[in-house]
Amino acid sequence: MLRAAVYPLVAVVVLALAFLFVGPKHALGALVSGLAVVAGTALAAWVGLGGGVQAAGSAMVRLFLGFVLKIVLIVAVLGMAFFWWRLPPLALLAAIPVALMFQVLALARR
């Protein structure tokens, strides 16, 4: 699971550096939303996979709960970044698919 967090983190940092050419608020927006995805992934992994060996029903509940917590965390950070901190929406929304794409690529790689 560490690889699923490191690869998206590197991709988000590279995206934030690219947005730095547009402006510092854009770079901060990409970094904030990308870090929210990485933190949400780590939280989902901790909740979903941290229970040890369990029955199938309780394991599925833990995985679903981890996914829901990940989505809630991402939406909460996006809301705060957009409404309170007034970060640009393009940068906020651009980092999410980049982080998720690199997360999938990291998990698919052997």
Angle at alpha carbon of residue 18, lines to 14 and 20, rounded to 5°? 115
The pLDDT tens digits of the residues spanning 37-59 come to 999 999 998 998 887 788 889 88
> What pTM was estimated for this model as a whole?
0.89
What integer best gives the mean pLDDT of the chain?
92
The Cα–Cα gap between 26 and 95 comes to: 11
- Predicted local distance difference test score (pLDDT) of residue 102: 94
Q: Is the pLDDT of residue 27 over 80?
A: yes
- Predicted local distance difference test score (pLDDT) of residue 13: 96
Phi-psi sector, 4: left (phi>0), alpha (psi -120 to 50), beta: alpha
The Cα–Cα gap between 42 and 97 comes to: 17
Question: What single-letter DSSP state applies at residue 53?
Answer: S
**Which residues in 35-67 are b (16+ Cβ under 10 Å) and which e?**
bbbbbbbbbbbebbeeeeeeeeeeeeebbeebe
- Predicted local distance difference test score (pLDDT) of residue 49: 85
Q: Is the pLDDT of residue 110 over 70?
A: no
Q: Is the pLDDT of residue 3 over 80?
A: no
Which amino acid does the sequence have at 73? L
Q: For a pLDDT cut of 90, what percent of the chain falls above it?
A: 77
